Structure 1
């Protein structure tokens, strides 16, 4: 019968999949698009807001630049999409930017990209979920002031859905994502139709005046004005986040993987461009006002609107304007936008675990991240991403304005390094390629990646210049910390591998000359008798039964009983004037090891196996401490000999075998050295020692093979 924990896990995650089912989890393009593109598409919900919000610092006149800034963002987006279409064909294994940089620029460049992407994925979840929580608070006023806790709940929900598997999460998120696309594009078509017929009303905030927060001396053509424009562009460049996720997720596509991934990238680019330009254009046509500090900057008849004014997001204002005659459509657009902001984090939940598994495979992250879980998803990576995002959300109180400043630095680092790597890739292949058609194709690809490198590098410089002091330094610092830690992890794994490698020296491969066994005895009961029987059946070179004289009376009683039962093995008593158990045993084992340095010493420890956690509290824990000390003694092995108490009956059926990727829980109890009186064994039980010649030949052979 499964435990309550296992039953709850199966209810939330589902039954485990067999490894051969992996091919059935691959995604068709119609599911892959919402799975990998939700982040890039959702940026339409806040990229226009960030552009207008930044331009509002200079007042209403700066709004005229918003369409041109959006066009600049679109140009970069299309170039990046075209560049990544080259990536997915050249490197379809799923390593994405990390693999491109590692192969063409070296391990340090690959780690730089890897650390940047890991940090960016965490920020993607934090920003998207926080933005979704703010949209929810707009529709549900009772959530105001509790956005952070609501965001944490959404992250946990998203994590649970993704633990069920990539295909299941994609199917669940496909409908909301397509609904968001249809609602925003439909709003754009309807809005432009009303504008053509002269029926498009003004936005609810259009009547408000927008005061400049800072006086830009010399106007927008001055140095300060140019800086403001560049800052607005860098904020709008958030629309490019998530494009790289498809190159990291190529293995999740159905065959032909590269072609399907390239097609999905093209669809992503066209849809994102259409939606972004529609929103920015409608915002200008309806005269939307969106300020960085609305309570002060927005004026009603020359008077600031004050703190009571609630500034709705740009899409919310547009939906209220375009569908002023049809409220259900307004609620549909608002709801779909809020949902897509939450689902945008799903891109990170698909990209982060895959990238982490590749880094773990290469030894830069803990190996557990490379193992698939019950549902063939990288469960440990999903849990790690959720945990890191929750910490960020709580630290920044789910405020998008604060989190957005940390955003997009990492993704443009990966863009720039990856494009440089692709230029090196094509240059290297052109040196050896002789076919004219192939050379022409490679040359075109190199031109595309060269333009991508130039543009993304320029945007990276702009982002660092305009956002560094606003909080981007935190993201840069986080990338450096992740980079250093991955280096340290790789150094540790390399050190362990060198230490464990089998040398070529034949002498180093020699087996021990003998095995000397030590059976720990606290009292004469069934577990002790079983340990003695197993140790004798192993045919060790030497066998000792050892006890520690903690209480003189108990020790004398044990010796008398030992002789009375005729145990065919002398009992060695270790003196312990300070009533210690661990130190005398460790000293004795070390002395034995020193006297016979070429022999292996095996310490047999009787172990109680109990059925309830609270039973372990009722027994002595000295064996646990002893085992921990002996683990650090070279040439010494500890062998636990379990004795199942009646309370553990049936436990092997209650605990489901751990599936791949599941972190094993220690279900065994510590091996206590009991000093309580046990029931006297009646007759010659299964654990009582027998004479050497009474041990069955089959049992001896089996135990010898195990030893």
Structure 2
């Protein structure tokens, strides 16, 4: 009777040992599951990118107006906000139809691909990929502004703090962080609660004539404020367009729910549509409330980027008492939390979208592979590198990042609107004419906003997106041609292979990086 040989342990490579130490134990495919979200949790988890934009949208409008319009900027603030809210209504109405028609994740990319084909869809893909990269940079930078507003001593280290936050978020996602469940919903509801309290208290104090107003003419450190008269109530048309383009950043993130319809509980379409409507309503209320209080208090942005306009509004509304200080700090904490959470949303969206595009053979295949912890590790690494590079390039300034932001966002809005218009014209369901009007109006308005950004903000950084955007689309097309050529050669060989020659033995060489258990 023979004794069975002992199993020989295969030694780990140094690289694998480091990966296991750095990222934790590997997961197996059976552990890959997606948690289906209830509507309240989905609202908290999927909307921080959109709702948090109310923290800096008003400030960006004032940054565009004050140097040219002077004090008239506060008067112009409200009508510009009104136009932005009108666009919000149209875009939200358009995406209400998207989530009903397309329940697979992917948003405007899937809409464009299904209606215009995979090549035209690369315009939406490029827009979304750029949007995700800039979202990380903008949200993280704005979160740091909230921190520096409460603790000014940290202001000079804003860039280092922002980059550090991005790296921590990336590391957490490489370890398999799941953006689902109540913990990720808490910052959103906390922020909504604190800003609602601020808006309500501010309006009550304004009604009773008790709301303090800043005297910006005697404050130092503010952005330059024009003191001469100009045209159109102190502002040139270009200045108004720049301010409007800046304010368009308030609408970023509206498409987030359409990108993740598949995570909703059934019925997915109606649930996603309800959450999208509630999210847009909350965003509209917060943007309108913050702009109104900025108009009443004359809260102005600082040249250094901090304290923020939202911070100045909160100081004015809550006053100098100890309760006021507590409420002010809670506003800043909630703002930082939701902005950093909003930055994290891209670490789920970008790798997933990149994997879809790679499956269509427009990006490298490596982006379709799940890594050590069953996340799209390559996509997370690419997103981290690009967003950190963008932060360093712009110095971590929210105002410098905004031109990069909204062009990609509104291009995605436009592609979704045009795609849904084509969808309704093709299928002609009951009520299709009204839906085409809504979708086409949202698409045309979004296209106009993209044009305004490209012209009005060209010298302030939009030139880079204007150049990078077509180059990225061309790169996606070029990569697809290479993949299609490779597939054609393989198909030709499969159908036209030479007659097999019989040999006594075949010798096959397989190139491997190393000999480990998987290779054996």
Shorter-chain TM-score category? 0.7 to 0.9
Indicate the structure with greater strand content.
1
Secondary structure at the aligned position of 2:125 is classed as helix
Aligned to 2:244: 233
- Of 302, 308, 315, 1:313 maps to 308
Q: Is the 8 A contact 1:36 1:350 kept in 2?
A: no
| Equivalent-residue separation in structure 2 for 1:154 and 1:211 (angstroms) | 27
Residue of structure 2 in register with 1:619 after alignment: none
Q: Partner of 1:381: helix, strand, or coil?
A: helix
Structure 2 residue corresponding to 1:407, chosen from 400, 405, 408: 405
SS in 2 for 1:407: helix
Q: Match of 2:441?
A: 451
Partner of 1:512: 501
- Range 6-15 or range 196-205, more displaced: 6-15
Query: Residue 384 in 1 paired to residue 382 in 2?
Result: yes
Instruction: Tell whether the 8 Å contact from 1:163 to 1:379 is kept in structure 2 after alignment.
Output: yes
| CA deviation after TM superposition for structure 1 residue 253, in Å | 2.3
Distance 1:639 1:271 in 2: 58
Q: CA deviation at 1:80?
A: 0.5
The 5-angstrom pairing of residues 306-345 of structure 1 reads 312-324=307-319, 325=321, 326=323, 327-345=325-343
Check if 1:219 corresponds to 2:231.
Answer: yes
Which of 239, 244, 249 is residue 260 of structure 2 equivalent to?
A: 249
**1:213 to partner: Cα distance:** 4.8
Report SS of the residue matched to 2:502. coil
- Residue in 2 aligned with 1:417? 415
Q: State the alpha-carbon separation in 1 of the partners of residues 101 and 200 from structure 2.
A: 38
Point out where structure 2 has 5 or more consecutive residues left out of the alignment: 1-10
Find 1:43's aligned residue among 35, 49, 53.
Answer: 53
Q: CA deviation at 1:48?
A: 0.6
SS at match of 2:353: helix
Distance across 2 between alignment mates of 1:468 and 1:51: 17
- Count how many residue pairs are aligned between Structure 1 and Structure 2: 502
| Residues in 2 aligned to 1:211 and 1:666: alpha-carbon distance in whole angstroms | 57
Deviation at 1:323, TM superposition (A): 1.5
Q: Are the structure 2 counterparts of residues 339 and 165 from structure 1 closer, same or farther at C-alpha, using a change threshold of 3 Å?
A: same
8 Å CA contact 2:223–2:301 kept in 1: the answer is no
Aligned equivalent of 2:70: 59
Confirm or deny: 8 A CA contact 1:60 1:212 kept in the other structure. no
- 1:274 offset after TM fit, Å? 0.9
Higher relative contact order (CA 8 A, sep 6+): 2
Match of 1:481 in 2: 471
Say whether 1:268 aligns with 2:139. Answer: no
Give me the CA root mean square deviation: 2.9
TM-score when scaled to structure 2? Answer: 0.88
- 1:439 matched to 2:450? The reply is no
- How far residue 84 of structure 1 moved from its aligned partner, in angstroms, is 0.5
Larger radius of gyration between Structure 1 and Structure 2: 1
Q: CA, structure 1 residues 505+323, in 2 after alignment: closer, same or farther (shift >3 Å)?
A: closer
Counting only pairs closer than 5 Å after superposition, residues 305-704 of structure 1 correspond to structure 2 as 312-324=307-319, 325=321, 326=323, 327-430=325-428, 438-440=429-431, 442-501=432-491, 503=493, 508=497, 510-514=499-503, 540=505, 602=507, 637-638=508-509, 666-668=513-515
- Give the structure with the larger helix fraction: 2
Structure 1 residue runs without a partner (length 5+): 295-309, 431-437, 516-539, 541-599, 603-636, 641-664, 670-705
Q: Does 2:118 correspond to 1:107?
A: yes
TM-score (norm 1): 0.66
CA contact (8 A) 1:206 1:288 kept: no
